Structure 1
Amino acid sequence: MAKKPVNKVKRRASLSASENKKKEQHTENVDTQRPKNPFYRRSVLIPQAKRWQEDLPVQWLEHDVEPNAIWLNEKNDIWLEIPRYENQISWGGGDIFAFLLVPFILYSLICPFIFGMDVIIFLITFPAFVFFLSLFNLLIRMTYHTPRGTPVRLNRKRQKVYIYEHHRSSWNPWIDWPVEVRVFNWDEVRGEITYEAGRYNQGYQLHGAVCQPGTNHVRERFALTWTVGDKEALRELWCYCCHYMQHRPVPETARFAEHPQQWGHIHWPEVFDVESRTAP
């Protein structure tokens, strides 16, 4: 798909009084946290994120990129929803591997009837049956019941961000996989980019670091996107979120119109679904 041209955003000539105050406070905090050695590069946030790459501008400061979302689920005057797509094997052939296990499940089930009800045969075939059935169930649940793109909602009327988390088990398919919604004040969130290098995740990620008010001390972190190959796209996405929350103009469409395929559905808890989509 064609990538939108990137134009640098001109810096505003002046800031409002409240923005100037926030800028001065932020600059003072940054100056006290920066190492004295100019060649020693590290984050101003404490503690520093693992595999940290760079800190992004604070929400109320100017950005040197154009606002641009990678994908959009919904955008209106009250709330914005962006998906976070993961790259996992469970969406790239997990169902095929699951159905390849069916002959092993059937064989371990009927084996005692073929060779006789022997204790030794039962002790071998029953654990095999449980193992193959559990693996089959795990792959099916991860493929068809786990959402690939868990969303983040930004409500600019409430100035809050809502993080939809789906907690799945990588080994136990017989328990509940619960949904959790984390809620943070937007003005306490700082943007940062990290680098991930793994079997299924290799590239850059955009994270939100939730700081204690007026400080650079991080309480919690959450992902605004999972792995993306282009660091510039993450800078543009952060700029997009900041501009949207400040009621500044942002593009109506995202970089990509088509979304990756997924089977799992998103079910927001009713309380958070209503709160995240309405004004106070």
Structure 2
Amino acid sequence: MSFTTPLLTKPAPGWKRDLPGPNELPSIEPYPPVLSNPPNSVDDVYLELARATIRIRGVGVWLAPFILMLSVGFPATLIALAIKEQSAPAFSLVLVGLFGTVTAVWLGIYVWRMDVTPPRDEPIRFNRLRRKVYVYRFHHDGLRPFSRSAWGVRTEVYDWDDLRAEACSVYGPMGSGGLIETVTLAVVKPGTHQVIERFHFAHEIQQGEMYWAMAQLFMQQGPQALPQFPRPPRDWNNEDVSFNLARRLAPKVRWPAEIDLESRTAS
């Protein structure tokens, strides 16, 4: 079912359309050959799907040192200018140099942490017997790139009936401009369309719609309703990441023991 106006208050940025609700019929049939990854795990109790907030990793870890070098370049340039002119540089130049140094340090640390701090996977588990959804979710704060508490993984638990999926598309800051498509999940106040919070679900609308359809089929009918995947599940914690420094440095997925047990069991 497709809606021409947003159902939620407020709709996600770049809202394109709402996907069917958790207990409605899926809008699309999952087709394994076009999906990036098979389920991490599936049985009669729970379905775990892979998820990643950041789509491409391994560039920032090499870009960050270059940006940090610029933070040294600004004061070095001012010192060289002062030696050449044999006088202190103008106050305005000092301010520009200070601003450039602070900006370069902030940006370099932010780029580095965004590449190496997210875990290797940010899985989401759908427990059909508890009717709960468990999200292994990476949080970060660009305004506090040095903070430990503002960066890291939190496991969050939601009621399946309170989830809503939205297809979104926005133009991103690419070289010649580019359309970024995603599917996000919103958590609503029970019995309303009022959004409490949102989080990323999948890149590309077609894939996100299929993964959401898989979650619907599993929660409504069970594992027998899911398609067969030609490839085995991917072992995110033990895969070969030799040529991707960012993924080598990234933390492995470690669910808290209590949440891990609860999300995989019926009671």
Q: TM-score range by the shorter chain?
A: 0.5 to 0.7
- 1:208 counterpart residue number: 185
* Equivalent pair of 1:196/1:227 in contact (CA under 8 Å): no
Q: Which residue type is aligned with residue 54 of structure 1?
A: R
Secondary structure at the residue paired with 1:59?
coil
Q: Which residue type is aligned with residue 58 of structure 1?
A: G
Q: In the aligned structure 1, how far is the partner of 2:4 from the partner of 2:232?
A: 33
Q: Which residue type is aligned with residue 20 of structure 2?
A: P
- 1:217 counterpart residue number: 193
Please list every run of 5 or more consecutive structure 1 residues that lacks an aligned counterpart in the other structure.
Answer: 1-29, 31-39
Shift of 1:178: 3.4
1:58 aligns with 2:21: yes
- 1:275 counterpart residue number: 262
**Structure 2 length-normalised TM:** 0.66
**Structure 1 length-normalised TM:** 0.64
- 2:5 counterpart residue number: 42
- 2:229 counterpart residue number: 253
- 1:236 counterpart residue number: 210
* Equivalent pair of 1:155/1:245 in contact (CA under 8 Å): yes
Deviation string 1:28-51 (CA, Å, 9 cap, x unpaired) is xx9xxxxxxxxx931233443333
Alpha-carbon RMSD: 4.1
Q: Which residue type is aligned with residue 82 of structure 1?
A: L
Q: Which residue type is aligned with residue 112 of structure 2?
A: I
Shift of 1:127: 9.1
- 1:37 counterpart residue number: none
- 1:178 counterpart residue number: 152
Q: 1:253 to 1:88 in 2, by over 3 A?
A: closer
- 1:97 counterpart residue number: 63
* Equivalent pair of 1:95/1:143 in contact (CA under 8 Å): yes
* Equivalent pair of 1:86/1:148 in contact (CA under 8 Å): no
Q: In the aligned structure 2, how far is the partner of 1:132 from the partner of 1:211?
A: 39
Secondary structure at the residue paired with 1:234?
helix
* Counterparts of residues 11-160 of structure 1 (less than 5 Å): 41-68=4-31, 70=35, 71-72=37-38, 74-77=40-43, 78-87=45-54, 91-100=57-66, 135-147=107-119, 149-160=121-132
- 1:164 counterpart residue number: 136
Secondary structure at the residue paired with 2:112?
helix
Please list every run of 5 or more consecutive structure 2 residues that lacks an aligned counterpart in the other structure.
Answer: none
- Aligned residues with identical type, % of pairs: 25
* Equivalent pair of 2:118/2:152 in contact (CA under 8 Å): no
Q: 1:210 to 1:68 in 2, by over 3 A?
A: farther
* Equivalent pair of 1:202/1:227 in contact (CA under 8 Å): no
Secondary structure at the residue paired with 2:17?
strand
Structure of larger gyration radius = 1
Shift of 1:244: 1.0
Shift of 1:204: 2.5
Q: Which residue type is aligned with residue 118 of structure 2?
A: T
* Equivalent pair of 1:68/1:233 in contact (CA under 8 Å): no
Q: 1:133 to 1:55 in 2, by over 3 A?
A: closer
Shift of 1:103: 5.5
Shift of 1:129: 7.6
Q: Which residue type is aligned with residue 219 of structure 1?
A: V
* Equivalent pair of 2:12/2:168 in contact (CA under 8 Å): yes
Q: In the aligned structure 2, how far is the partner of 1:223 from the partner of 1:254?
A: 29
